[in-house]
Amino acid sequence: MNTRGTGSAGKHTQARAVRSAMHKMSDSCLKCATAFDPYAPSSASDAMHVDHIRPSSWGGPDELYNYQPLCGPYNVAKGDRSDADYRSAKQKLMYPSPERIIRQEKAERKRDETAALKVREEREAQRKFSNSPAQVSKRAKDDAIEAERVAAYQAEKAAEKAARQAARNEKNRLEAELAVRQAEAEKAVNASVAEKRRVRDRKVAWVGFSSFAIIVTVIVVATIHGSMLQAECESEFTNYVDINRCVRNRR
Ligand SMILES: [Zn+2]
Digit-coded pLDDT (tens) for 121-140: 999 999 999 899 999 999 99
Q: Judge whether 38 lies within some domain.
A: yes
Measured in Å, residue 47 CA sits from the centre of ligand 1 at: 10
Measured in Å, residue 68 CA sits from the centre of ligand 1 at: 11
Calculate the CA 134 to chain-centre distance: 39
Determine which helix (DSSP H) or strand (DSSP E) holds 67, and give its type and residue range: strand 67-71
DSSP state of 28: B
Q: Judge whether 104 lies within some domain.
A: no
Question: What confidence score (pLDDT) does residue 117 get?
Answer: 96
Q: Judge whether 241 lies within some domain.
A: yes
Measured in Å, residue 48 CA sits from the centre of ligand 1 at: 9
Q: Which of 71, 95, 119 is the last residue of a domain?
A: 95
CA distance 65 to 98: 9
Domain that holds residue 9: 3-95
**Which of 1-15, 47-61, 63-77, 224-238 shows the lowest per-residue confidence on average (mean pLDDT)?**
1-15
Q: How many domains does the chain have?
A: 2
Measured in Å, residue 100 CA sits from the centre of ligand 1 at: 27
Q: Judge whether 141 lies within some domain.
A: no
Q: Which of 95, 111, 131 is the last residue of a domain?
A: 95
Measured in Å, residue 214 CA sits from the centre of ligand 1 at: 168
Q: Judge whether 64 lies within some domain.
A: yes
pLDDT in tens, 211-230: 999 999 999 998 898 888 88
Question: Minimal CA–CA distance to 18: which of 64, 56, 58, 52?
Answer: 64
Measured in Å, residue 36 CA sits from the centre of ligand 1 at: 9
CA distance 50 to 42: 10
